[in-house]
Each structure stands twice: as structure tokens, then as C-alpha cells.
Amino acid sequence: MSSSANAIRSMTGYAMVRRQTPSGELTVSLRSVNHRGLDLHFHHIGEMAIFENACRALLKQQIRRGHVEVRLSFAKEEDAGTPAPTYNRELLRQYLAAFQQASTDFGLDEKPDLNALFRLNGIFDRSEKSSAVDASLEPLVIEALLACTLSLNEYREREGNELRAALVKEVDAIADQASRIAEIRKEALPYFHQRLQERLAELLNGIIVDDARLAVEAALISDRSDVGEELTRLAIHTEELRRMLAEGGEVGKRLDFLLQEMNRETNTILSKTSGIGDAGLTITNLALATKANIEKIREQSLNLE
């Protein structure tokens, strides 16, 4: 599969290729949108169906994900010596007789529409035009499809790289907000200590406990109040996200799990920082902004291969 080393592909794109042959013009077009896996849908006249298996094999080599509409058509050139089309006089007479009989039977005062009659099956003989496409055309069909696929992938890579640039901005925002939360956390430590003291006083309620038990309770309360570990994990996930976008490749599915983890850490930060004054309110606003950034990345990643 041809691709630049760190390319990221969108699953949305369109491409068309035309090829002239001695007997007519071949047209191949591909249109793709996002999908969980590779979903190929062929739209072609019946005589082109003989090439479908070979086309499927090629597309599976070149495209990993996406709902892809494949259209193949072949417009035959008319032979200069081909006589002008003529209508089937006898069949038309029979149609007219049936029309007149129906008008008489039902008392209708209608006249036949010649344009409508000419569109009836069999009025014009198209047998010479419906000859099957020669199977020897397959190499040209495959060559045209490959060229069309490469053009589609170039389009998808251009769009993918634009998406990557937008996602990197969201990642930068998350990293900046996490850094600001870490700074505010230092200012909020007195609130955490106050919460710890209040909680211990509530638990003890005048009861004397041994130092070991007191240390355990203090550690548990401290762990439930501080967001240091969540910030560390969020920073690690953010750098991994940045690395994945830089390396490129098929990142769409891998991003989903990482974003879930980042969202989980952010939710924990929100739950731990409520009720600690102005510092807690600022952290809440920053964490909510981070959740919005994560959701934007998730929405865009759904369109990445």
C-alpha cells in the first residue's frame, strides 16, 4: 500500500479516472465515507460484473477502512457502418391495436402517445449494442482502478493531514490546561489539608485511635482529595496522543481507547476538586474545557482510517 511514512488518512474522499480503448471509454470512480471497517459497494452494469472479484482484491490491498462506492462503466463506440436504429413495426402495431381495443372497451376518448410507445420494451432493437464486454479488458480495468485508488488515497491523506493539524491544536490545549491545573493544585493544597483535618475530626469524634490507624485514614483521605496522580496520568496520555498523531498510520481505532482513559482522568479531577473554594472552581472550568477538547478529538477521530 503506497503511502508517505507518517500519513494519516481521512475516510472521506472521491476520485475518478477515464481510459480510452479502441472499442470505447472506461470510467472508474470511487467515493468513500467513514465506516467501522472496509465496506465495498459496487454499482455497475451487469456486463462489468466479471471484473468485480479482481477489483475487490485490489481495493482490499489499498484501502483499510471506509464505506466505498465503486462505479465502473464502459461506453462503447458505435461502428461508423452501423445503420440507424429502426423500430419494430409489427410490435408497435400490436401495441396500438391493444390501446384502441382498451379505449373501446372502457369508453375512453384517448389518443396514443408515440413518445411513450417508443419507450416500450422491444420497440427498438438494441441487440447489437448489448454485446458483452470482452474479458480481455480486465488488465485495463485493474490499471484504471489502481490509478483511481491512488488518487483517492492522496485526497484522503491531504484531508487526514488537515485533521491532524486541527487535532494537534486540541492536544496542545489539553496539555496547557493540565499544566495550569497542576499550578493551581499547589495553591489548593491548604484546602486539601483543611479537608483532611475536618474529615479526621469527623471520623474521630473525640475517640482516641492509635497512630497507625490514624496514618492509614489520613493517607486514604489525602488520596481521595488530591489530583496529583490523575494529572500525571493525563500528562502521560496526552504525550502518547501526540506521539500517535506524529507517527501517523491507522490511528482511528487506537485513539478511541486512549481518549476514554483521558476522559476518565478528567472526570476524576472534577469529582475531587469540588468544594475547595475559588481554586476548585478554576480547576473545574479548566477540566470542563479539557473534556470539550477530548470530545472534539473523538468526533474527528471517527473519520480517520
Question: Using one digit for the tens of pLDDT, what is the confidence trace for 111-139?
Answer: 888 888 877 777 875 544 444 577 889 99
Neighbours of 247 (CB within 10 A): 11
268-283 per-position pLDDT tens digit: 998 887 666 677 788 8
231-261 per-position pLDDT tens digit: 999 999 999 999 999 998 888 888 988 999 9
Q: In a 3-state reduction of DSSP, which class is residue 75? A: strand
- pLDDT for the residue numbered 5: 60
83 vs 130 pLDDT, higher one: 83
Residue whose C-alpha is closest to residue 40's, from 72, 9, 71, 67: 67
H or E element, residue 32: strand 24-33
- pLDDT for the residue numbered 92: 87
- pLDDT for the residue numbered 6: 75
- pLDDT for the residue numbered 267: 94
- Give the strand pairing for 24-33 and 66-76: antiparallel
Most confident of the following: 49-53, 184-188, 206-210: 49-53
Q: CATH for 13-80+135-156, among 3.30.465.10, 3.90.1150.10, 3.30.230.10, 3.30.930.10? A: 3.30.230.10
User: How far from chain centre, in Å, is Cα 60?
Assistant: 17
Total-model pTM: 0.66
Fold of 158-301: Butyryl-CoA Dehydrogenase, subunit A; domain 3 (1.20.140)
> Which three three-digit cell numbers place residue 92?
408497435
List of residues 6+ apart from 272 with CB closer than 8 A: 224, 225, 226, 227, 230
List of residues 6+ apart from 298 with CB closer than 8 A: 255, 256, 259
> Which three three-digit cell numbers place residue 241?
496522543
Neighbours of 46 (CB within 10 A): 9
Domain ranges of the chain: 13-80+135-156, 89-118, 158-301
Q: What is the average pLDDT score of the chain? A: 84
CB 302 within 8 A of CB 252: yes
Whole-angstrom CA distances from 118 to 108, 109, 122 are 22, 21, 9
> Which three three-digit cell numbers place residue 265?
482522568
Q: What average pLDDT does range 55-59 have in this prediction?
A: 97
158-301 has the same fold as 13-80+135-156: no
Residue with C-alpha cell 487535532? 167
% residues pLDDT > 70 (the chain) = 80
